[in-house]
């Protein structure tokens, strides 16, 4: 497996005084995801939990829904000129009867760690038909429980402590217990790793759970929550307008600017016992 951190010497300036010192950086490397030997996507990610990342990505795209939909996931040997393995190419074998991905979701170029939608042909292609209807999810939450999520997320981030350069996604139950945490240079990758973990563990749909992300809430993160059956998405930073629109359309509770004891509830406030603000 690849490294998740690397060391590099830097020059640190403090009050005009320069000192040379080693610094720890989060590793960013490409991961090519193939399905049945055919290249589907290349995303920039932090190595680690790659099988979860691939599985979660395929759930988000509506390709798989159950553990049995994935027959195998393996690293591709011979990825280098000398026949070695870079651990940066994965091939997913689909289960019997599972339809291969639609060609419209193929991403024939690198996507960055900050944006997973760059390869989409159009916005309509993102609105994948959801398997589970999260609007009917009965989860109810005490707002005070949610305010603890950022602290719990931060405390569980092992690599962030060394680099300060990774996003995190955490899955919580209604009681505030952390079920799974994954880190990555990309927000969407961290979420895919969480969803992939749940998929491979047979936990979908993720009824009555809360997804917490360390950055902003984008359209794609709401879409990933919907595809995994997650009814509540909370974020430390702001959501986009499109994220709020999709959350309202699909019945997702969307919370942003979750800091300390304050938060903004954009949609689905009934699950927190409040009325979300009107547009």
Residues marked as catalytic:
115
- Residue 98 backbone zone (phi > 0: left; psi -120 to 50: alpha; other: beta): beta
Element at 70 (helix H, strand E): strand 70-75
Structure tokens at 37: 């030997």
Element at 96 (helix H, strand E): none
Full DSSP string of 181-192: EEEESSHHHHHH
From the list 237, 228, 177, 182, the residue with the least C-alpha distance to 50 is 182
Beta bridge mates, 180: 171
């Amino acid at each position: 497996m690849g490294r998740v951190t690397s060391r590099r010497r830097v020059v640190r300036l403090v009050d005009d005084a320069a000192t040379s010192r080693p610094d720890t950086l989060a590793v960013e490397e490409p991961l090519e995801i193939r399905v049945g030997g055919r290249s589907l996507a290349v995303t920039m990610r932090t190595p680690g939990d790659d099988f979860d990342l691939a599985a979660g990505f395929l759930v988000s795209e509506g390709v798989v829904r159950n553990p049995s939909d994935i027959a195998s996931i393996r690293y591709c040997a011979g990825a280098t000129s000398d026949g070695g393995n870079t651990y940066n190419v994965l091939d997913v074998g689909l289960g019997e009867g599972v339809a291969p991905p639609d060609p419209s979701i193929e991403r024939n170029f690198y996507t960055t760690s900050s944006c997973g939608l760059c390869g989409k042909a159009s916005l309509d292609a993102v609105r994948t038909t959801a398997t589970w209807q999260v609007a009917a999810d009965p989860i109810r939450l005490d707002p005070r429980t949610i305010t603890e999520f950022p602290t719990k997320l931060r405390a569980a981030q092992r690599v962030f402590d060394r680099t300060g350069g990774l996003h995190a996604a955490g899955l919580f139950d209604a009681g505030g217990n952390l079920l799974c945490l994954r880190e990555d240079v990309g927000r969407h990758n961290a979420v895919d790793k969480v969803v992939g973990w749940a998929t491979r563990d047979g936990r979908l749909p993720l009824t009555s759970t809360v997804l917490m992300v360390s950055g902003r809430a984008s359209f794609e993160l709401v879409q990933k929550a919907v595809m995994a059956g997650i009814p509540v998405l909370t974020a430390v930073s702001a959501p986009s307008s499109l994220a709020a629109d999709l959350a309202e359309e699909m019945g997702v509770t969307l919370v942003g600017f979750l800091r300390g004891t304050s938060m903004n509830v954009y949609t689905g406030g009934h699950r927190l016992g409040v009325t979300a603000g009107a547009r």
